[in-house]
């Protein structure tokens, strides 16, 4: 046997050996639909002539992009969603509990080895617990809701190994940004990313989520971390023998292998307007900014907020600069409230919003205008993503973002 993780997951799912390039039909263990697309999914589902969901227990509906509603037509999505829930008997519904990609692993909807599809490109996130998860469109989702299956092409795998101890102000965000810069925005198109090495083994699930989340920015179909004890603890389960065996075989074959020494890594930024336009923070130090955003499914978790609070404690956000903090989920918000993190952030002058996609999806929560510059912890800096096409978006880790908020300019934490 010599299989990569993705090959093993697919084999387990379809019950036969596969190799990259094979086209196979997989069975979905779970699917996720969010508020922006539910009206379209519902319409296509009925147009396709389905009468019932293949398995209501496997379907999760999450309102996150439009919470709270900022345009009068937004609430139509909730109404359509609520009617769909009622008609087809959905039970897993979250109406204001946070961002879909945070909730799916956090609420236990995803387990190691699962095959999961979601109507959102950042569905790759669930690879953090060793699930094959990928984003699809609403037509495809409608067809899965009816059949429980989807065709896929078994992807080749790029293996990324990180070893060693990360410098203090380097986070998993800096690793994934560096990787995207090295691979290019299409460097992993149609492929799976597999992460390995003692650095990622040391990482929390939250940090792994950040990396799996952004794999799509290199075009990847999915990103995988082998399930381990941390995964088991996060999923509140014991790993089965099968799940333990999901780690790639030693002699598995990869289309490409990339290795980083953690000690060599530095805090970086993705500069406007491509996620693969990576530069060290040092090079851009001193560039004045107007706003900082800490949040999103990439970096809105407790450890991210705590990292920011550590830097902001006893300090104030620079005058005329806004710091917007959007916890990734209700649970994250509550934990951050309980352990004093939110107090520190609010005292520093942060604007703390309800958990949701907020600014990252560009509909509300801190939209910018011509000539403004923002440092943000989310996943995309595309032209016009957070306002007009003359807004400059720099993507960074929560540490870099917090240090920049205090300085009022791009700054490196610890300097």
Q: In the window 305-324, what residues touch other proteins (CB under 8 A)? A: 319-320, 322, 324
Give the binding range for other proteins (CB under 8 A) out of 107-115, 143-151, 224-232, 279-287.
Answer: 143-151
Could you please report the per-residue DSSP string of 224-270? EE---HHHHHHTTSPPPHHHHTTSPPTT---SEEEEEEGGG---EEE
- In angstroms, the CA 217 to CA 378 distance is 11
Among 233, 389, 414, 415, contact with other proteins (rule: CB under 8 A): 389
Cβ-proximal residues to 130 (8 Å cutoff; 6+ apart), any chain: 5, 9, 112, 113, 224, 225, 226, 227, 231, 243, 246
Shortest distance in whole angstroms from residue 90 CB to other proteins: 12
Q: Is 339 in the site for other proteins (CB under 8 A)?
A: no
- In angstroms, the CA 288 to CA 408 distance is 6
Of 62-101, which residues contact other proteins (CB under 8 A)?
Answer: 65-79, 82, 93, 95-97
- In angstroms, the CA 208 to CA 164 distance is 16
Nearest residue (CB) to other proteins, 185 versus 232: 185
Nearest residue (CB) to other proteins, 126 versus 260: 126
Under a CB-based contact definition with an 8 Å cutoff, are residues 18 and 7 in contact?
A: yes
Polymer length of the chain: 415
Of 152-211, which residues contact other proteins (CB under 8 A)?
Answer: 153, 185-186, 189-190
Cβ-proximal residues to 56 (8 Å cutoff; 6+ apart), any chain: 88, 89, 90, 91
Nearest residue (CB) to other proteins, 91 versus 259: 91
- Measured in whole angstroms, the distance separating CA 95 from the mean position of its chain's CA atoms is 19
Give the binding range for other proteins (CB under 8 A) out of 9-17, 142-150, 207-215, 259-267.
Answer: 142-150
Q: Is 300 in the site for other proteins (CB under 8 A)?
A: no
Among 50, 54, 88, 254, contact with other proteins (rule: CB under 8 A): 50
Among 161, 237, 274, 339, contact with other proteins (rule: CB under 8 A): 274
Shortest distance in whole angstroms from residue 181 CB to other proteins: 14
User: 3-class SS at 22?
Assistant: coil
CB atoms within 10 A of CB 54: 16
Give the binding range for other proteins (CB under 8 A) out of 156-164, 246-254, 257-265, 350-358.
Answer: 350-358
Nearest residue (CB) to other proteins, 39 versus 130: 39
Among 29, 37, 209, 252, contact with other proteins (rule: CB under 8 A): 37
Shortest distance in whole angstroms from residue 40 CB to other proteins: 7
* Residue 189 preceded by cis peptide, ω within 30: no
Nearest residue (CB) to other proteins, 236 versus 338: 338
Give the binding range for other proteins (CB under 8 A) out of 3-11, 103-111, 129-137, 174-182.
Answer: 129-137
C-alpha torsion 68→71→76→82, nearest 10: 0
């Amino acid at each position: 046997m010599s299989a990569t993780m993705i090959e093993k997951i697919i084999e387990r799912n379809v019950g036969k050996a596969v190799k990259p390039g094979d086209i196979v039909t997989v069975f979905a263990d779970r699917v996720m639909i969010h508020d922006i697309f539910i009206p379209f999914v519902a319409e296509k589902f009925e147009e396709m002539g389905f009468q019932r969901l293949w398995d209501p227990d496997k379907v999760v509906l999450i309102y996150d992009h439009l919470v709270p509603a900022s345009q009068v037509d937004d609430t139509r999505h909730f109404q359509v969603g609520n009617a769909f829930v009622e008609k087809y008997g959905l039970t897993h519904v979250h109406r204001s509990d946070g961002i879909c990609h945070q909730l799916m692993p956090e609420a236990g909807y995803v387990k190691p080895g699962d095959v999961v599809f979601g109507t959102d490109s950042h569905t790759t996130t669930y690879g953090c617990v060793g699930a094959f998860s990928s984003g699809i469109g609403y037509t495809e989702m409608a067809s899965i809701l009816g059949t429980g299956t989807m065709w896929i092409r078994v992807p080749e795998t790029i293996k990324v190994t990180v070893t060693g101890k990360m410098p203090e102000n380097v986070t998993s965000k800096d690793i994934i940004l560096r990787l995207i810069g090295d691979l290019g925005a299409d460097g992993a198109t149609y492929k799976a990313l597999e992460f390995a090495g003692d650095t990622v083994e040391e990482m929390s699930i939250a940090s792994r989520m950040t990396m799996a989340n952004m794999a799509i920015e290199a075009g990847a179909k999915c990103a995988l971390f082998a399930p381990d004890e941390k995964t088991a603890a996060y999923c509140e389960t014991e790993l089965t023998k099968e799940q333990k065996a999901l780690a790639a075989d030693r002699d598995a074959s990869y289309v490409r292998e990339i290795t980083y020494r953690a000690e060599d890594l530095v805090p970086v930024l993705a500069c406007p307007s491509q996620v693969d336009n990576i530069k060290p923070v040092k090079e851009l130090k001193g560039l004045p900014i107007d706003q900082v955003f800490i949040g999103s499914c990439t970096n809105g978790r407790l450890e991210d907020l705590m990292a920011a609070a550590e830097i902001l404690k006893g300090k104030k956000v620079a005058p005329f600069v806004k710091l917007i903090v959007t916890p990734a989920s209700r649970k994250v918000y509550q934990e951050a409230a309980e352990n004093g993190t939110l107090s520190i952030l609010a005292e520093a002058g942060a604007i703390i919003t309800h958990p949701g996609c907020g600014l990252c999806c560009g509909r509300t929560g801190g939209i910018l205008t011509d000539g403004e510059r923002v440092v943000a912890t989310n996943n995309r800096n595309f032209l016009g993503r957070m306002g007009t096409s003359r807004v400059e978006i720099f993507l960074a880790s929560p540490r870099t973002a917090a240090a920049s908020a205090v300085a009022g300019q791009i700054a490196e934490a610890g300097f």
